[in-house]
A and B are shown apart, each in its own frame.
Chain A
Amino acid sequence: MTIPVRPETDRKIDELLTRFPMKGSALLPALYVVQEEKGHVSDESMEYVASKIGVSPAFVAGVVSFYTMFHRRPVGRHHIQVCRTLPCALSGADDLMAHLKTRLGMKDGETRADGKFSLASVECLGACDRAPFLQINDREHGPVDAAKMDEILKGLE
């Protein structure tokens, strides 16, 4: 099988294989490493990671599908995740989501055709003191009202 990742990604995974008392523990970190390079976890990537760890592709697929942070399809360059759980909902999360949908012309769960944005409502992000709260890639924003949201979006233009 040809290696479907960059040599440095392959090396990073080799290093992960020696980090843990048992090799299997390298699976989640290896999936993160692949996703960082590719933006998502494809079938081909799962087969590759499976062969590195020494488990079946089906086992890897089972793990990937269990965790929400592994993306099976490409997400936008700006992946917007809006918390919808109760403390955020009590503080206007629904209004924030509605505003985002209108502003971006997108539905919940969609990736825009130009690949710039993806929008997803997610469960509790553990920042209820900053409700309504959202994450864009690995950056955190909260509390966010409509005006603040527009300002954030402007910064992404």
Chain B
Amino acid sequence: MAFEPILTRNVRKPGSETIDIYMEAGGYQGLRRALKEFTPEKLVEEVKASGLRGRGGAGFSTGMKWGFLPKTKDKPRYLCVNADESEPGTFKDRLLIEKDPHLVLEGIILSAYAIESSLAFFYIRGEFHQGCRTFEKAVQEAYAKGYLGRNILGSGFNLDIIIYRGAGAYICGEETALLESLEGKRGYPRIKPPFPAIVGLYGCPTIINNVETLANVTLIAERGAAWFASIGRPPKNTGPKLFCLSGHVKRPGVFEAPLGVPFLELLNEYAGGMKHPERPLKAAVPGGSSMKILPAAKCDVLMDFDSLAAAGTSLGSAGGFVMDTGTCIVRALHNVARFYAHESCGQCTPCREGTGWLVKILTRLERGDGRPEDVDLLAGIAGKIEGNTVCPFGEAIAWPVESYVRVFKDEFEEHARRKACPMRAAAAR
């Protein structure tokens, strides 16, 4: 059966970001139906039954996350939308925000209804100027039509939404750093527990969901949990998914496919194969730059949470990128390490100091000043960062270092032994 794109059904239409085009395609019908037919509890059950797992990176069950909210309602509850898309290789939420903001907004309204929140925050990364303008306009349109504000569609449900611009900090995509930033502070991740569902924004119960996750909630309300759960690889990897592919591919982009699509199909069919036919695939990172690298020989994998975990990597944010045989892996890892050294928030010593050490060692290896012990030193530092930080940022740098060095060990050793980058020497010939 051919897969019908549904998350991206509108994005290529002219004016796709307007409420009129969205409603012409049946938009806000799911909300209308849910407000009539579902109690909040029933909607939570529906999302649980769909099997939807968070699309931000961790892949945790969305319905279960919502279920962690306290039963008491003595404090306000908040929904925070994580639109701080910053993982290198990832640009899928940007597509939804810029091209189909109402699909996201409808999901926000539905989710706020489900968790009984009357105030939602849309935390968008500061660099997304166009996305922010588009989303602001969408919010105005939704207020004008009565999908936001007081007594939405006569249901008695109220919801306001505040758009909050980040200001350039990768770490604010981590959910507790995002909360700190929203409170007007440096984006230092919080120690968990308590989890945000119990103590979140302003000390109140808070749910943080990714943009694509919320767009999926719209689809579930529109077509039902059973429909959603029939897509992909049930029971644990259900639904449509946006996959990004960039790097050395012919047609980089965002591609929609069911969870579990083969990586090689994404690469060769969706993205048109490698950019330079004479330089075949060397390695791929399927899930964003903090996930582990796969050598070409191991790229015959299915793109879902559990298949990629079994293959020793992760789906992450599905921000995949590929490198061809002309790529120096040491240089690539130097780039990745530099990113994480720049973006480390500095709160935890292993990450703050360790990322700097990694860059220093990779710089000297690539420059031709490497030492024989450097290769083990890299892996050793990564191992000492992993598990020793407040937030998963530690893993985000440890995993690429550990995997690049393990998979391409000979390339690192050759750099140290020859005191030069062999790829650069080859290029100079």
Contacts and interface: CB of A to CB of B under 8 A. Distances in A.
Interface in B60-117: 76, 85-91, 94
Report the interface size class on chain A.
35 or more
Closest 6 A-B residue pairs measured CB to CB? A27-B184, A68-B168, A67-B167, A138-B129, A128-B246, A69-B168
Interface of B: 76, 85-91, 94, 119, 125-130, 162, 164-170, 181-187, 202, 244, 246-248, 252-254, 289, 319, 321, 323, 327, 332, 335-336, 339, 342-343, 345
A24 B289 contact: no
Contact of B319 (A32, A123, A125, A128): A128
Given A63-B184, A87-B88, A21 B202 contact: yes
A82 to B, nearest CB: 13
B246 A124 contact: no
12 contacts: A24-B184, A25-B184, A27-B185, A67-B169, A86-B88, A86-B89, A86-B321, A87-B252, A124-B86, A126-B86, A128-B91, A129-B91
Contacts of B89: 86-87, 124, 128
Contacts of A69: 126-127, 167-168
A107 B89 CA distance: 27
A140 interface: yes
A85 B252 contact: no
A89 B328 CA distance: 12
A20 B130 CA distance: 24
B261 to A, nearest CB: 18
Interface of A: 19-22, 24-29, 31-32, 53, 62-63, 66-70, 84-87, 89-91, 123-131, 135, 138-140
Contacts, number: 133
A68 B323 CA distance: 29
Contacts of B166: 28, 67
A28 B164 contact: yes
A22 B86 contact: no
A55 to B, nearest CB: 8
A127 B182 contact: no
A123 B342 contact: yes
B88 A129 contact: no
Contact of B162 (A19, A31, A124): A19
Contact of A86 (B91, B165, B339): B339
Contact of B182 (A25, A87, A125, A128): A25
B185 to A, nearest CB: 6
B183 A24 contact: yes
A49 to B, nearest CB: 10
A90 B125 contact: no
A126 B317 CA distance: 12
